[in-house]
Structure 1
Amino acid sequence: MSLRLIFMGTPDFAVPTLLELVAHGHEVVAVYTRAPKPAGRGMKMQPTPVEQEARRLGIPVLTPTTLKTPEALGEFRAHNADAAVVVAYGMILPQAILDAPKLGCFNLHASLLPRWRGAAPINRAIMAGDAESGVMVMKMDIGLDTGDVAMAERLAITDTMTAADLHDALAPLGADLMVRAMGGLVRGGLQLRKQSEDGVTYAAKIEKAEARIDWSRPAREVLRHIHGLSPFPGAWCEIATDGEPARIKILRCEPAKGSGTSGEVLDDRLTIACGDGAIRILELQRAGKTPMQAADFLRGTPLKPPARIA
């Protein structure tokens, strides 16, 4: 037995869930996603990853700018869906929309709720030094990620993981979890439990102003800050190239031995002193250029002691 579903999602993270629902025989009658935006050198209108996959699958796509009008509600109800599946959609669902599907709206969230409710759970978990993350299926209510939780899967976060790495690990894990949750819904056996009131934290949207690296922090905090913002927006510092300071994004690093004044270059392998300990830069990116390995960067811009970066 399958469900008649509305799917609501926008970025790459949501695509595996859409594909798995279709592969397991559920009838996705409509896909809601954000409207195309101009992107690339030619600033051509670029449909979202979810829209691209939905059109490939032959599923009708809707890109409303609001769900708060009577017209939007009427259109949503007309799909006569059993349930809606929501994955990183990017728009608030009003109560009338939440109430429209017979069995409710179910959200896949990339954190272990109630920790990291909100917009940037993957980034914030890494930046905070968390030992684990995960995905949860939640029956949505009007609050911000406050609904009752149905199922969860956990995943360890290592110090080698960037936000991109964790994103790519959680996306298929979440897709499998949502398929299992919808299977439970079909059978009438999906159990829901209220979220704990303890341990609530909020994953605020990442602001570009917080991306500058503070080398006075301990090495592990610097490492987690860098990895939590990689690849976007990218933690950055300034390195003197040809006598002029240039902004460089650091995309990947590792713990290293050594100590010195914060920001001091400790050797010829891009080992940088932090407030306590040191890190070694492994991958970085000049403004307007593609990412490169540290060894490739050093061939064109040799940095040795007593140089410093800021």
Structure 2
Amino acid sequence: MTTSLPPPSPAARVIIVTGLSGAGKSTALKGFEDMGYEAVDNLPLSLLERLVGEAAPGVRKPLAVGIDIRTRDFDVSRLLAAVDTLRTHPDLDVDLLFLDADEHVLARRFTETRRRHPIGGDLPLTDGILLERQMLSMLRDRADAVIDTSRLPVADLRGLLEKQFGTEANPGMSVVVMSFGFRNGLPREADLVFDVRFLRNPHYIDALRPQTGQSADVGAYIAADPALAGFLDSLKTLIGPLLPRYEEEGKSYLTIAIGCTGGKHRSVYVAEQLFHWLSTLGRRPTLRHRDMPGTLTASAADVHHPAAGC
């Protein structure tokens, strides 16, 4: 008589949330709580492994833990060592999330809330921000996912967290396709950046200027550029083989950024073409137009593909 073994319990999800002060960690933890996570903020490092191991395997809720510079025994090397230790447990799925933002945005947030920077002391606010960035640079480099909240509305941040860390099963590497404008700065979280400013610019056509890369007219104008088709083919030829290799190396999150001058026309159109193509490969990418607030897209079915050229 053959006895079938029960299927193994799914690994418990643990997200360590850290980053620069003022970058939105508290907002992110509230978002995780809304997604069904148990959220714990400002946890001493000495208690991290005990907290994670308290619940029995198979019955524990997903857990989001906020640890940052305010923590009494905070130390970057100790935190990284603790994360590495947790990852040795086969029943845990551990990710390190780092929240970032531009210095001037962080300074404005502290000024508006009249809060003191936690490590500023008698230093000017900007010096405290720069000092913290320097202290946490190794932590940012080791993070599984980096989210820059500088131009990210709260609703879009929560939507992005839900796409990347939602409790529904989402096997494979999480891929984010982002459009942006170079005049507003490079996206800090980008792993791959492609410049499409060589394409004809709809901004100089009066009828197209107020529209975006999501409109049919703008899409048709960009698709008519003879340089587009070859570029898209080359982009797919480059990115296609990279995705499984990144997964083999254990990468959980990949952000592909497409940039033009203002982040409204060419980069939006090309990002949507790339998003659509990735979706045909069976991927479940997330699409985000950084410099067009409120346009976080959840699935390929939600995206309009004007004059699709791929």
TM-score with structure 2 setting the length: 0.28
Report which of the two structures shows the higher radius of gyration computed on alpha carbons: 1
Q: Higher strand proportion, which one?
A: 1
- Return the structure number with greater relative CO, CA threshold 8 A, min gap 6: 2
Q: Higher helix proportion, which one?
A: 2
TM-score with structure 1 setting the length: 0.28
